[in-house]
Each structure stands twice: as structure tokens, then as C-alpha cells.
A and B are shown apart, each in its own frame.
Chain A
Amino acid sequence: MFKKNFKKIWKAIVRSLAIAFFFTCLFITITYFVCLKKIDTYLVFFNNFTFSGVTEEHKIEIDKLTKELVHYPNYGDQYGTISLPTVGIKVNLYHGDSMSILKRGAGHYAGSYFPSEGGTILIAAHNRREYFKYLPKLNVGDPIVIDTDYGTFTYTVTNGRVETISELEKLDIQHEEEILVLYTCYPVDALGFTDKRYVVYAKLEGVAYES
């Protein structure tokens, strides 16, 4: 008798939890698609189900005497990797930072300079464990390494801080000094969209060109 009642009660509890979970998910879905940032929601949702496409890896050509880049990768091509040795992360680095590119790895903003060009380099990646989730764990003095076909570039972290989107949009894309800027959404464990980014600034420390 007790067993029978226990089974009935247990079934009722499980059913109630399932219904509550379902309605919670439905509420979250409706809130995102109807009330919050609708366009962002639709873009992110459908981007998750789109095919990322095949990318090619193109060698970048460099002038051997002046070390200037003479041929650049196409938008969407992988041209190297970016490593954060302190946290043991290595991510593929692509030219461009569209949503489909960011699904595959780190995206280099096409409106910024390439490593070796002596300007601002802006790179973004998702706050996933295998990408830039551990960016906030970098300290001043930690190394960041960008490895490409034409050379290996080592940078040293000079600053790391939380900025709003509008603050980061004021970043100066200058051509006087080589500055590497990495960013990802913050808080890194946020469940929803966030207007903040964790930004790491680094200066060029050393270059080893490919022979």
C-alpha cells in the first residue's frame, strides 16, 4: 500500500517538475524573442544552426627585405593561431569576425592591422572554455603568442579591464604602435546577452619571422 502511494506521489512530483521546467523554458524563450534584444536573439539563434562553411588556410606573403605584408588572407580564412600560455589555450585565428567566423575560433577585426604592421590589432572570441573564457585570468606581464605563416609574434599583457560596448567602440585604430587588443563578453559565465566586454591590452615584445 505504502509502495503504491509512494509511486503515485513520486510520479506526481516528477510530472509537476517537468511541467514547471517546460513553462520556465517557454517563458525564457518568449522573453528573449519578444521582449529583449529581438534582433540579437534571432541572429544568435539561427546562427547556431547554420553551416559554418569550409575555410581555407592561405599563406600570407611578406616582403623579405622590408618585412611588409604584400598579400593578405581572404576574409574568413584562417591565417594563424593565438595562444594564451598562462591558461593553456590555443585558438585558431581567422581574418574577419563575423558570427560564422566566431563560431570557429578567434576573429581578427578586418578594420584593424595585422601582426607586424605596427598598429592596433583587434581580436574577438566567444567566452567559451576553449576560446577566451579565461581571458580575465591573464595578469600584467603574461605572454600572448600569435603564430602565423610569416612569423611568430609575442606580446605582453599591459592591462585587462571590463569595458562597456560604447567604451570599446572608441578604441583608436592607430598606426603608430603595435597594440594587441583581445576581448570577449563579460561576465564570462553570463547566461544572457551582456553589454560588457572583458578587454586585454598587450604590447609587442618580440618577433621571429619565418625564414
Chain B
Amino acid sequence: MKKSIFAVIAVALMVGFTNVHAMTEAELQAKLTKAYTINGVTYQADAAQKVQIERYLKENEISASEADFLASQVDEAVAVIAESGAKSISEIPAAYQEKLTAIANKVTDTTGIQFTVADGQVVVTDGSGKTILTAGDSMVKKTNNNNVIVASSLISLVGIAFVARKFF
């Protein structure tokens, strides 16, 4: 989750622009998915996020000049984390977190991108509501049909209500 936050910010920075030249798109994709070693810790989009980044760039065109802007914003975010000296996202001091938040807010204001938490994961959507990236959850989901919890809870509630009515 913490290492994917960087990828989320990087992806967020690229949203909302229009019309990219094919060559720039490849460079931008490389910029967003490469490994960044900051204060001895490596941050990189994982395989799943690389797939989502690749997919979004394939489907949406981004302007070449704005790709340069995005690249510079990625460098700015990297510099902020490096300057903080933190060895993990959770260790970043409040002052530097504010700087990263400011970058994210600038992205939101410029592109309309939204960060929401739903079903236990962070979902990043573009201005039109289309999902770009999901992060923070496990690749392996809970797929058991656990009606026991629901059934036992309901029966317990019925039983408690039955007993409680004698006192009211």
C-alpha cells in the first residue's frame, strides 16, 4: 500500500489531459512505472498497477507538452520524499506530507481526478468517473460464501429481542 501510493500519485498526475504522441506516451509510461530509490528504499508500481497504467495510457490520449509537466511533477514528488529523509511513506514528517498533499490537490484541481476508498481499496478515477487504478487491496480476494456470520448474527438478534421484550 505505502509503495503503491507513489504510483497512485504518479498516475494521478497524468490524468485529464488530451492528445499524446506515441513516442512521448512510451516515455511517460516508462517514467511512471520505473523504480525510484529514495533514501535507500525502492518505490515502484507493482505488476498489477503497471497493467492498469498501460491500459489507461492506451485508451486515453495525453498531450506531449503536458507529459513533460507530469514528469516534472513526479520529480518534484520524488524530491519532497528524498528531502524528508523518510525511509517509508508512514515516516514522512507532517510538513512534507503537506507538500505531497499540495501536489495531489493541484492534480485534483487541474484534472478532476478523485481518490475514494471503497470495498477496502483505494480507487482512483478520472474526471469522467472512469477508474484508472485500484490500490491498497490484496490481489487475492475473499471468495468464501460465509452466510454463517449473517445467519448466526440474525438468530442472536432475534433471541436477544425475544428475551429483552420480557423486560420492557
Contacts and interface: CB of A to CB of B under 8 A. Distances in A.
A96 interface: yes
B95 interface: no
Contact of B145 (A41, A127, A169): A127
Nearest to B47: A173
Interface string B1-22: 0000000000000000000000
B102 interface: no
Interface string A179-211: 000011100001111100100000000000000
B131 A183 contact: no
Interface residues of B, number: 38
A74 B131 contact: yes
B49 A74 contact: no
Interface string A103-129: 000010111110000010010111110
A32 interface: yes
Given A22-B159, A26-B156, A111 B150 contact: no
Interface stretch (B25-33, B76-84, B115-123): B115-123
B146 A192 contact: yes
B59 interface: yes
A44 B140 contact: no
B142 interface: yes
Q: How many interface residues does chain A have, given as a range?
A: 35 or more
Interface in A1-46: 21-22, 24-26, 28-29, 32, 40-41, 43-45
Given A22-B155, A98-B119, A113 B150 contact: no
Interface of A: 21-22, 24-26, 28-29, 32, 40-41, 43-45, 47-48, 69-72, 74-76, 96-100, 102, 107, 109-113, 119, 122, 124-128, 132, 165, 168-169, 171-174, 183-185, 190-194, 197
Given A29-B153, A183-B140, 18 more contacts: A28-B148, A69-B58, A75-B131, A96-B131, A97-B141, A110-B48, A110-B51, A110-B131, A111-B47, A112-B51, A124-B141, A173-B48, A183-B143, A185-B142, A191-B146, A191-B148, A192-B144, A192-B148
